[in-house]
Amino acid sequence: MDWKRLDSARESSGPIEVDLIEAYAQGRINRRNFVKRGTIIGLSVPFMGAIIAACGDDDDSSGDTAAPGTETAGTEAPAGTEAPAGSDAPASSGGVIVVANQQGDANSGLDPVNMLDLGTYNVVSQSFEYLVGVGDDGNIADTGLASEWAPNDDATVWTFTLRENATWADGSPVTSADVAATLDRLAEANNAALGGVIDVGSTDSSDPTKAVVTLLQANGNFPVLVSIFNAQSLITPVDYSSGTTLDERPEGSGAWVLDSWDAATFTAKFVRNANWWGGETPLDGIEIRGFADIGTQVTAMQSREVDAIQQFPVIGGEGLLNDANFVVLTPPSANHRQVWFNTQQGQFTDKLVRQAIAWTLDRQQMVDTLWAGRAEIGNDHPVLSSLPFFDDSAVEQRTPDPEMAKQLLADAGVDSITAVCETGDLQEIPQLAAIIQQNAAAAGINLTVNTQSNSTFYGAAWCPGPNDSDESLPCDNAAEFGIVDYGHRPVPDVYFSSALRTGGPWNSSNFANAEFDQLLLDYQGSIDVDSQKAAVSQMQSLLWDEVPACYPYFYNFLGGHDASVTGVKATSLGHTILSGASKS
Amino acid sequence: MLRFALRRLALALITLVILIFVIFLLTRVFPSDPARQLAGPFAPQERVDELNEQFGLDDPLWQQFGRLLVDVLTLDFGESFSQPGEQVVDLVRPALWKSTQLVLFALVMTIPISIAGGVIAARKKDTLLDRGIVTLGLASASIPEFVSGVLIQYVLGVRLGWFPAIATPPDDAGFLTTLDYLFLPALAIVTVYFGYIARITRAGTITALDSDYSRTAFMKGMTTTAVVRKHVLRNSLQPTVAVTGTQIGYLFGGLVGLEIVFNYPGLGRLIFRAATAPDFPLLQAGVITVAVIFMLCTLGADLLIAWMNPRARLNLGGQ
**How far are the Cα atoms of A317, A324, A488, A553 from residue A371, in angstroms, in the given order?**
10, 21, 17, 10
Q: Which residues contact B47 (CB under 8 A, 6 or more apart)?
A: A465, A468, B39
Half-sphere exposure of A567 (CA within 13 A, CB side): 16
**Which residues of A fall below an 8 Å CB-CB distance to B?**
106-107, 109, 260, 263-265, 289, 291-293, 295-296, 299-300, 302-306, 319, 342, 345-346, 452-453, 455-456, 459-461, 464-465, 467-469, 476-480
> Is residue B8 very low, low, confident or very high in pLDDT (cuts 50, 70, 90)?
confident
Q: Do A455 and B40 touch (CB under 8 A)?
A: no
Mean pLDDT score, B221-244: 81
For A467, nearest residue in chain B (alpha carbons) = B43
How many Å lie between the alpha carbon of A579 and the closest alpha carbon of chain B?
Answer: 23
Contacts of A300 in chain B (CB under 8 A): 165-166, 263
Contacts of A465 in chain B (CB under 8 A): 39-40, 43, 47
Cis ω for the linkage preceding B278 (within 30 of 0): yes
Give the type of residue at B180.
D
- Report ipTM for this prediction: 0.73
Q: Do A300 and B165 touch (CB under 8 A)?
A: yes
H/E stretch holding A550 reads strand A549-550
Three-state SS annotation for chain B: CHHHHHHHHHHHHHHHHHHHHHHHHHHHHCCCCHHHHHHCCCCCHHHHHHHHHHCCCCCCHHHHHHHHHHHHHHCCCCECCCCCCCEHHHHHHHHHHHHHHHHHHHHHHHHHHHHHHHHHHHHCCCCHHHHHHHHHHHHHHHCCHHHHHHHHHHHHHHHCCCCCCCCCCCCCCCHHHHHHHHHHHHHHHHHHHHHHHHHHHHHHHHHHHCCHHHHHHHHCCCCHHHHHHHHHHHHHHHHHHHHHHHHHHHHHHCCHHHHHHCCCCCHHHHHHHHHHCCCHHHHHHHHHHHHHHHHHHHHHHHHHHHHHCHHHHHHCCCC
Q: Do A264 and B262 touch (CB under 8 A)?
A: no
Contacts of B161 in chain A (CB under 8 A): 303-304
Contacts of A292 in chain B (CB under 8 A): 260, 263, 269
Q: How far apart are CA A410 and CA A173, in angstroms?
A: 65
Q: How far apart are CA B292 and CA B13, in angstroms?
A: 9
For A260, nearest residue in chain B (alpha carbons) = B171
Q: How far apart are CA A327 and CA A563, in angstroms?
A: 6
Q: Select the residue of B42, B165, B265 nearest A303 (Cβ to Cβ).
A: B165
How many Å lie between the alpha carbon of B319 and the closest alpha carbon of chain A?
Answer: 48
Q: Which residues of B50-85 are buried (b: 16+ CB within 10 A; e: fewer)?
A: ebbeebebeeeeeebbeebeebbeeeebbbbbbbee
How many Å lie between the alpha carbon of B73 and the closest alpha carbon of chain A?
Answer: 25
**How far are the Cα atoms of A10, A44, A47, B148 from residue A6, in angstroms, in the given order?**
6, 15, 11, 68
pLDDT digits (tens, 9 = 90+) for B10-59: 888 888 888 888 888 877 765 566 676 665 555 566 767 777 787 777 78
Contacts of B165 in chain A (CB under 8 A): 299-300, 302-303, 305
Q: Select the residue of B39, B42, B269 nearest A345 (Cβ to Cβ).
A: B42
Contacts of B43 in chain A (CB under 8 A): 464-465, 467, 477
Sequential pLDDT tens for chain A (584 residues): 888 888 888 888 888 888 888 888 888 788 888 888 888 888 888 888 889 988 885 444 433 333 323 322 222 323 344 554 565 544 557 999 999 999 887 666 788 888 888 899 999 999 999 999 999 888 889 999 999 999 998 899 999 999 999 999 888 999 999 999 999 999 988 887 888 899 999 999 999 999 999 999 888 889 999 999 999 999 999 988 877 888 888 889 999 999 999 887 889 999 999 999 999 999 999 999 999 888 999 999 999 999 999 999 888 899 999 999 999 999 889 999 999 999 999 999 999 999 999 999 999 999 999 998 889 999 999 999 888 889 989 999 999 999 999 999 999 999 889 999 999 988 899 999 999 999 999 999 999 999 987 767 887 789 876 665 566 777 888 999 999 999 888 889 989 998 999 988 899 999 999 999 999 999 988 877 788 899 999 999 999 999 999 999 999 999 999 999 999 999 989 999 999 999 98
Give the type of residue at A81.
T
> Is residue B145 very low, low, confident or very high in pLDDT (cuts 50, 70, 90)?
confident
User: Phi/psi of residue A374, each to 5°?
Assistant: -85, 55
Q: How far apart are CA B214 and CA B208, in angstroms?
A: 7
Interface test with B, best of A296, A423, A451 (most B CBs within 10 A): A296
Instruction: Kindly give the pairing relationship between strand A417-424 and strand A559-562.
Output: unpaired
* C-alpha closest to that of A289 among A106, A101, A468: A101
